[in-house]
Structure formats: C-alpha cells, structure tokens
C-alpha cells in the first residue's frame, strides 16, 4: 500500500510540475505577445522563437527577412518575442548613436566569437572597453603604420592573376572563382596582418581547414546568437569546457586559434623585431598578447569572407549586364591600356574612375556581403520612436541590411536592377525621356543631394559611429584593384548561367561552385 501511495504521490508531483511549466510558458508567451503588440509581424513570432530559428537554419535568411518581413509588414517588424527588425536608416543610425537614449550591444555578440574565451573588438559589449580597444587598433586597420600595405596587396593580387593565367587560361581548365576569390582575400589579409601570406593561392587548398571550419560553425553561431536560451547554453562555461575549441585541436577553429597564438607569440619574445604590419602596430600600441591573438583571429574572417563575397557578386553582375561590362571595360582600357603586366593599378587612380566607383557602390547595394542581425538593446527606460510607438527596455533591435539597400525612397523605383548610373551625377540640363532609365542612362533625379543620401544610407552596411567597420578602407582597396585587373586582363564566361553559383547564408554568405572559363584578352 505504501508503494502504491508513493507511486501516486510521484505521479501527482510530476503532473503538477508539467502543469506549472505549461502555465508558466503560456503566461510568459502572453506577456511577451503583449509587450510588443504595437509592431506587426508573423503571428508565431510574437510568442515563440520558432520563426527566427527556422529562418536561421534555412540558409536563406536575407531573402526571408526581406520578402516575408519587411515587404509584408513595413519598416519596423516584430520577428521574435522580444526582437524587432528595421530597415529605417534613421532608426538604424539611432541604434549606434552616442547621444541619449543610448542603445547597447546585446547578447547577440556573445556567441559570435571565433575565440569563445575572449572578446575581440567586434564582440566587445562594454562601450568604454570597446572605444579604448578601437583607439589602440585604429592606426593598424587604417594602414597608417604599414606604409607597404598597398604593395603587399599588389603582390598577392599579382599572384592571383598569375594563378588564373598559368593554371586555367593556359590549360583551359574551368575555375571556381568563388574559391579563388576567397583564397586571394585570405592571403591578402594574412600578408597585411602578419607579414606573410598563409599560402592559400600557392597551394590552392584550404590551409588549416579554415573554410571547412567556418562552414561547420556558422549555422551554430547564427542560431545561438538569435535565440536567447541557445545563446546562454552555447556560451556557458560548462559547454565550453566540454565541447569548446582548444588550441591543441588538429583542425577547425581550435586549429586556427593555435595558429594565431603561435604567430602572436613570436612578437612577444624578448628580442622580437618590430615589424611594419597590422600585428606589429597592435603590439606598438599596447595590446596584450591575448588581445593580439583574438584580434588576429578575427581579422582572418572579417578581412576575407565579406570582401570575397563583394568581389564575386560585383563581377557576376558585371558579367550578366553587357552594357555595364562594355562601359566599365572602356573606362579601364582608357586609363590602363599601357600599364605593364607586372604592375597593379594604383588605388588612388582607381578611386578617381567615376564609373568604376559607381559599379563598386552598386555591387555593394545589390548584394551587401554581411546581412546578419547585430542586435542592439533598448535602454532600460525604453524608447519612443519618431512615429510615437513605445519600445520597452530590453527589446533587441537589428538592422535589415538587405531591405535597407532596396529602399525605393532612397535608391529609386528600380531597386532590383543593377544600374551603376544611379550613382553618377546627371550630365545634362534636359531631362532624359521616360523609359531610358531601364537602359542605364543617367537621369536628372541624380541630383548631388540624392547621391549623397544614397551614399550615407549604403555606408550603414559597414556599421555606424563607434561601431563602424574598421577595415572598410582595405576592403575598398582590394575591391577596386581586383575588378580593374580582372577586367583588363581576362575574358570571363559563366559556365552555368542558369545556376551561376551555390550559396547559403549564416550571417556571412558561404559561396562556392562559381564555375568560369577564363581566356586572356587579345591585345
């Protein structure tokens, strides 16, 4: 009888626990749904993270958030129980402003650390600590303490074009430009940052398993950063101790951490030479050995993946738009026809080419290379938006980058068309006839103030204010040079135009199989 009563008691307790859990979840869901009821969005997103998690795991987040959130619900959309997504440039600037109300970086940044045991400048959430670190790294990222920066990029780019010429043009083998572009940017950033390239181009292989590591870890980093309870699990000391990467690992992120540790250690031995590269600038400006390790590791991903995506996609849009291809090539030939093959276009000259710069900006607008959700947190007192809606404290708000660069009130009605001419000043006082815009002709609505507004808006893809991307100038330098060199040296033909490349997104675009046939241009 006692066993029977004990069994009944255990069943009652278990049932009570289940009932309590269900009631708690229901009440929490109702409270969450009411908290942001002023903002429209998918119904399931008001009380559950199922919609956000499924979007993250789909690999098509940029498309889903644009088509099923922004286009359907407007500039500020509810995408989770405590999360909003915005494509409003005014609000996006507000998220990073230093004036009150001051938003702070949210816990989204915690899982977005390649080295999960230490923060880099990208993931630091404390404003004072971030500003102090940014001040000590600014000279390095700007290249002010590395006078040979452009020459180092040139050396790697010459190797890139030599690989294309000798291994693909000469043999007529198809080449995967997606992979080669990544190898170029990886060798470029490691050359600039550490004084020596890792040898991706020379070996034409995934050195240290870096690309495979990013492919494996990116979905985990994205999903755990967006779903709060997964965030707490993934970043917990217990999980990191049990399954976190180690510098002794043979591959993966742990292997990359070990490589960064070994390279940095050489700079901190008693008789270490002062080197004029990024890492040397970090050391000279007082970064600790551990800080140098985390910054060095972050540079590899920040300085390669996004730039490689920009190179691939801008080249793709050029190739599939004959008018743009012809006009850009004519501009390149007019300025660089006599440039010897063993020289690379100077960036100062490339920056002065109006159509090239229009193509670069339009490529970034059409396909921003980073479309993650770097949530900022509303201050405890909450905030009232310009339209009068109140956002409670603790709410997380992220920019919708893909939607931002497709705002018709900023970029014109034809936002889905690759049209570099939108960035060029109108050439004539007489208005161009209706219908000529679709042919890419300049129009009088390209007033200086409109172009300036487009540029200010596009710049938001690099962050804003204290959170702006530190490596922006290096990215533009690489993009300028690579586009010119590919245009002046090669004819590129897509092998599979109906499926030009394979692509998924987990904050970064992971791209491959951009198969092309390359031939040398006839002189």
pLDDT in tens, 59-100: 999 999 999 999 999 999 999 999 999 999 999 999 998 777
Q: Assess whether pLDDT exceeds 70 at residue 219.
A: yes
- What confidence score (pLDDT) does residue 430 get? 44
The answer as to whether 48 is a domain residue is no
Task: For residue 309, tell me if it sits in a domain.
Answer: yes
What pLDDT score was predicted for residue 472?
93
Name the H helices within 171-245: 177-194, 200-203, 210-226, 228-234, 237-243
Domain count, the chain: 1
pLDDT of residue 1: 52
> Which residue's entry shows tokens 């240290």?
208
Element (H, E) at 91: helix 89-96
Longest dimension (CA), the chain: 101
Residue 111 within a domain: no
What's residue 209's pLDDT? 87
Give percent of the chain with pLDDT exceeding 90: 76
Q: pLDDT category, 438, cuts 50, 70, 90?
A: very low
Please state, in angstroms and as integers, the Cα–Cα distance from residue 474 to each residue in 142, 150, 318, following that order.
8, 9, 22
Element (H, E) at 384: strand 383-384
Q: Is 292 annotated as a binding residue?
A: no
Residues 353 and 73: beta-carbon distance below 8 Å: no
490 found inside a domain: yes
Of the candidates 454, 457, 453, 430, the residue with the CA atom closest to the CA atom of residue 441:
430
What is the rounded distance in angstroms from the CA atom of residue 352 to the CA atom of residue 382?
45
In which domain, by residue range, is 268 found? 131-372+403-520
Task: Tell me the CATH number at 342.
Answer: 1.10.630.10
Q: How confident is the model at residue 256, as a pLDDT?
A: 87
Q: What pLDDT was estimated at residue 24?
A: 37
Q: What integer is the mean pLDDT of 174-191?
A: 97
* Token couple for 451: 């172009």
Q: Is the pLDDT of residue 437 over 70?
A: no
- pLDDT (tens digit per residue) in 303-325: 799 999 999 999 999 999 999 99
Give the pLDDT confidence score for residue 22 in this predicted structure. Answer: 42
Average confidence (pLDDT) over 459-484: 94
Helix/strand/coil for 492: strand
Domain assignment present for residue 109? The answer is no
| pLDDT-based confidence at residue 431 (cuts at 50, 70, 90) | very low
In a domain, 393, yes or no: no
Q: Is 70 exceeded by the pLDDT of residue 4?
A: no
Decide if pLDDT at 5 tops 70.
no
pLDDT at site 446: 85
Share of the chain above pLDDT 70, in %: 90
Q: What is the DSSP letter of 370?
A: B
Q: Which two tokens stand for residue 302?
A: 């920040």
Burial class from Cβ neighbours inside 10 Å (0-12, 13-18, 19+) for residue 274 reads exposed
Give the pLDDT score at 435.
46
Q: How far apart are CA 146 and CA 330, in angstroms?
A: 33
Average of pLDDT values for 127-149?
88
Residue 235 lies in a domain: yes
Average pLDDT of the chain, as a whole number:
90
**pTM, to two decimals:** 0.90
41: in domain: no
Give the pLDDT score at 188: 96
65 and 85 in contact (C-beta within 8 Å)?
Answer: yes
Q: Is 32 exposed, middle or buried (0-12, 13-18, 19+ CB in 10 A)?
A: middle
Can you give the pLDDT at residue 139?
85
User: Average pLDDT, stretch 4-11?
Assistant: 51
Contact criterion met (CB below 8 Å) for 70 and 442: no
pLDDT at 359: 99
Model pLDDT for residues 390-419, shown as the tens digit of each residue? 999 999 999 999 999 999 999 999 999 999
DSSP result, 238-294: HHHHHH---TT-SSHHHHHHHHHHHHHHHHTSTTPPP-SSHHHHHHHTT--HHHHHH
State the Cα angle at 513 between 511 and 519, rounded to 5°.
120
pLDDT surpasses 70 at 434: no
| Category of 306 on φ-ψ map: left (φ > 0), alpha (ψ -120 to 50) or beta | alpha
What are the backbone dihedrals phi and psi of residue 376, each rounded to the nearest 5 degrees, phi first?
-105, 150
Eight-class DSSP state of 99: S
Contact predicate 442/275, CB 8 Å: no
Q: List beta partners, residue 510.
A: 504
What pLDDT is stored for residue 12 in this prediction?
A: 61
Residues 22-38: tens digit of each pLDDT: 443 444 445 555 789 99
């Amino acid at each position: 009888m006692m066993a029977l009563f004990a069994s009944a008691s255990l069943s009652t307790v278990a049932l009570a626990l289940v009932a309590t859990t269900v009631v708690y979840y229901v009440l929490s869901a109702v409270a969450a749904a009411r908290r942001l009821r002023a903002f429209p969005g998918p119904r399931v997103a008001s009380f559950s993270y199922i919609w956000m998690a499924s979007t993250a795991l789909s690999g098509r987040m940029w498309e889903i958030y644009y088509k099923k959130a922004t286009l359907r619900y407007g500039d500020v959309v509810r995408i989770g129980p405590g999360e909003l997504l915005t494509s409003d440039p005014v609000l996006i600037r507000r998220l990073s402003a230093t004036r009150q109300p001051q938003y702070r970086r949210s816990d989204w940044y915690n899982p977005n650390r390649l080295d999960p045991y230490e923060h880099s400048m990208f993931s630091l959430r404390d404003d004072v600590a971030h500003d102090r670190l940014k001040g000590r790294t600014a000279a390095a990222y700007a290249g002010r303490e590395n006078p040979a920066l452009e020459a180092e990029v040139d050396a790697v780019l010459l190797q890139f074009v030599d690989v294309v010429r000798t291994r693909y043009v000469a043999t007529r083998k198809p080449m995967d430009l997606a992979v080669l572009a990544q190898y170029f940017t990886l060798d470029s950033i490691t050359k600039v940052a550490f004084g020596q390239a890792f040898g991706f181009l020379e070996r034409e292989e995934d050195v240290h398993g870096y690309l495979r590591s990013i492919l494996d870890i990116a979905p985990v980093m994205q999903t755990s950063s967006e779903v709060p309870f997964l965030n707490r699990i993934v970043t917990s000391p217990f999980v990191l101790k049990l399954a976190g990467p180690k510098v002794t690992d043979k591959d993966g992120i742990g292997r990359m951490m070990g490589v960064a540790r070994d390279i940095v250690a050489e700079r901190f031995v008693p008789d270490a030479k002062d080197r004029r590269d990024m890492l040397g600038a970090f050391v000279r400006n007082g970064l600790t050995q551990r800080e140098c390790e985390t910054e060095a590791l972050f540079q590899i991903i920040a300085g390669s993946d996004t730039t490689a995506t920009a190179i691939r996609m801008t080249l793709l849009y050029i190739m599939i738009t004959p008018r743009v291809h012809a006009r850009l090539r004519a501009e390149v030939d007019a300025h660089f026809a006599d440039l010897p093959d063993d020289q690379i276009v100077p960036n100062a000259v490339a920056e002065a080419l109006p159509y090239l710069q229009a193509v670069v900006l339009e490529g970034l607008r059409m396909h921003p290379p980073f479309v993650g959700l770097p949530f900022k947190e509303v201050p405890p007192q909450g905030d009232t938006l310009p339209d009068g809606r109140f956002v409670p404290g603790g709410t997380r708000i992220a920019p919708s980058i893909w939607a931002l660069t497709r705002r018709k009130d900023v970029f014109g009605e034809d936002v889905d068309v690759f049209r570099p001419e939108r960035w060029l000043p109108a050439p004539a006082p007489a208005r161009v006839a209706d219908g000529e815009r679709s042919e890419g002709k300049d129009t009088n609505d390209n007033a200086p103030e409109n172009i300036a507004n487009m540029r200010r808006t596009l710049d938001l893809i690099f962050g804003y204010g204290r959170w702006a991307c530190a490596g922006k100038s290096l990215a533009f330098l690489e993009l300028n040079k690579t586009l010119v060199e590919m245009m002046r040296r090669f004819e590129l033909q897509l092998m599979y135009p109906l499926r030009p490349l394979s692509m998924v997104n987990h904050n970064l675009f992971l791209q491959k199989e951009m198969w092309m046939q390359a031939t040398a241009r006839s002189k």
